[in-house]
Amino acid sequence: MKARTFPGGIHPPGGKQLTEKKPIERATPPDRIVIPLSQHIGAPCKAVVKVGDLVKMGQKVGEAQGFVSVPVHSSVSGKVVAIGPFRHPMGNVQPAITIENDGKDDAAPPLAPLDPSTADPKSLIKRICELGVVGMGGATFPTHVKLSPPEEKPIDTVILNGTECEPYLTADHRMMLESPSRIIKGLEVVSRILGAKRAIIGIEGNKPDAIELMRKSVNGAGDIEVIELLVKYPQGGEKQLIKALTDREVPPPPGLPMDVGIVVQNTGTASAIADAIFDGKPLIERVTTVTGSGISEPKNLLVRIGTMASDLIAQCGGYKGDLGKLILGGPMMGIAQSTAEVPVCKGTSGILILTKQDSLMREPDPCIRCGRCVEVCPMNLRPYQMAVLIENERLNDAEAESVLACTECGCCSYTCPASRWLVHLFKSAKAQIMANRRKKKA
Ligand code: SF4
Ligand code: SF4
């Protein structure tokens, strides 16, 4: 059967060969961790510890503030030595809790396991929130919010996103190979909470071993299908995934997958959900791919949240060649960092290190109206037109051109022969429009 896909998109070089065959290794816990109070989309947490406190591994150190927020937990046992501003992977400075690791891994007692076949959905959702689960594909949207659609929006299908379409990253791939039943258990919890009759696991065709193993692993669970998708970026974007797998179209913003009866979860998130429900374990570690042409030994590492990127780079043999760029996330949607002294957060799927030669950037030229950006835009936008409007400070017109629908996938910038900084313009315009809206509301 022909692999399914969506209109638009690009085919960047994969880079996955560096780590796709490397089993997940447990990273050595650092002497010190830094837990940002905001590791999710929504209201930041409030610290519930103070400097000098002794904390256990898994203890809550930051309390959620409001519905769209989740708590954060310590990934080591030790002493709180600082609470204050620290560099964040988003590229800014945010409040964070620094804990000195005592090396004992003295764990807080886990919550009692829940049986999803008998527990009521509300208590399952409460548990997922309580243990700090967020979307781990990079979006970091609080999972309990996604699992609480309003009654008038029933969900009939859950999609598990196993595409990992960002070049270089292989954390989800390795998790599907090494803990398929854990992921499937998490998916079953999600289906049970939402009352969905159908579950689909979508995996790109460049992971034939994962497709085969997941098919074997779901054997017997008649309501779960594993579907192969064409290798194309951004196949893992929610809207593109939904279109490819179900032919349903999510309405433009503020439309959401729930408007077409679908909820999408990432493979790592499904695993974290299983940990929370079956083991009462908070989200304090994640698999992160450390890779690129500028690192000596690329690896997939199981990392304590709050570990510095610099610690992991050292555990991968250090830099190789001239350091050109350090990115948290993948090359398309990740965020370039000015220092490696930045902590791994719940959404850090990868640390990409590129040599100078591999990260050269051309100066932008004027647009030649070739239309390539329009052809590849998976959201059916006119990037060249939006860019001109933003450059001329016509934000209202850019909004009318649907700049808010831009998912910042980077396909337009990647393909532009004039090296225009398109996605950069769209990101700042979106931030400006949202700030203006907040100001107006206030
Ligand atoms: S970054 Fe935005 S405008 Fe550019 S291709 Fe992606 S969705 Fe379209
Ligand atoms: S791809 Fe670049 S040069 Fe071509 S139309 Fe779009 S912005 Fe202009």
Which pLDDT score is estimated for 1? 59
CB of 403 within 6 A of ligand 1: the answer is no
Alpha-carbon dihedral sign for residues 214, 216, 217, 222 = positive
Domains and CATH numbers, the chain: 112-279 (3.40.50.11540), 372-441 (no CATH)
- Positions of E strands within 102-242: 157-161, 198-204, 224-229
CA of 185 to the centre of ligand 1 (A): 34
Helix, coil or strand: residue 227? strand
Cβ of 368 below 6 Å from ligand 2? yes
Q: Whose CA is nearest to atom 3 of ligand 2?
A: 367
Q: What is the model's pLDDT at position 222?
A: 64
Return the pLDDT at 91.
Answer: 87
**Could you tell me if 122 and 195 are in contact, meaning their C-beta atoms sit under 8 angstroms apart?**
no
Q: Give the distance from CA 417 to its chain's centroid.
A: 29
Place of tokens 């929370």: 276
- In angstroms, the Cα distances linking 17 to 3, 169, 326, 424 are 22, 10, 19, 29
Whether the CB of 417 sits within 6 Å of ligand 2 = yes
Residue 406 beta carbon below 6 angstroms from any ligand 1 atom: yes
CA of 372 to the centre of ligand 2 (A): 6
Q: Which atom of ligand 1 is nearest to the CA of 234?
A: 6
Look at residue 408 in the predicted model and tell me its pLDDT. 96
| pLDDT tens digits in sequence order for the chain, 442 residues long | 567 888 899 999 999 999 999 999 999 999 999 999 999 888 899 999 999 999 999 999 999 999 999 999 999 999 999 999 999 999 899 999 999 999 999 999 999 999 999 999 999 999 999 999 999 987 799 999 999 999 999 999 999 999 999 999 999 999 999 999 999 999 999 999 999 999 999 999 999 999 999 999 997 666 899 999 999 999 999 999 999 999 999 998 889 999 999 999 999 999 999 999 999 999 999 999 999 999 999 999 999 999 999 999 999 999 999 999 999 999 999 999 999 999 999 999 999 999 999 998 889 999 999 999 999 999 999 999 999 999 999 999 999 999 999 999 999 999 999 999 999 999 999 999 999 998 988 8
pLDDT of residue 229: 96
* Nearest ligand to the C-alpha atom of residue 367: 2
Closest C-alpha to ligand 1, atom 4: 412
Cα separation, 96 vs 336, whole angstroms: 20
Atom of ligand 1 nearest to the CA of 409: 6
Q: Quickly tell me which residue has 């204050």 as its tokens.
A: 84
Say if CB 77 and CB 31 are below 8 A apart. no
Residue tagged 């030595």 (tokens)? 81
Establish whether residue 383 lines the binding site of ligand 1, counting it when its CB lies within 6 angstroms of any ligand atom: yes
Ligand 1: which residue has its CA nearest to atom 6?
409
What angle is formed at CA 407 by the lines to CA 356 and CA 133, rounded to 5 degrees? 90
Ligand 1, atom nearest to 8 Cα: 5
Residues contacting residue 332 through CB under 8 Å, at least 6 positions apart: 12, 166, 167, 233, 234, 409, 410, 411, 414
Give dist(CA 338, CA 360) in Å, integer.
16
The two three-digit tokens of residue 158, written as one number = 């859950």
Mutate to test the pocket of ligand 1, among 384, 408, 420 (most ligand atoms within 8 A of CB): 408
Which listed ligand is nearest to 373 at the C-alpha?
Answer: 2
Report which protein residue has its CA nearest ligand 1's atom 7: 406
Is 115 buried (19+), middle (13-18) or exposed (0-12) by CB count in 10 A? Answer: exposed
DSSP string, 255-289: --GGGGTEEEEEHHHHHHHHHHHHH---S-EEEEE
Instruction: Give the model's pLDDT for residue 2.
Output: 67
Is 261 in contact with 153 (CB distance < 8 Å)?
A: yes
* Interatomic CA distance for residues 346 and 272, integer angstroms: 10
Find the helix or strand (DSSP H, E) in which 424 lies.
helix 422-441
**Residue 152: count of CB within 10 angstroms of its CB:** 5
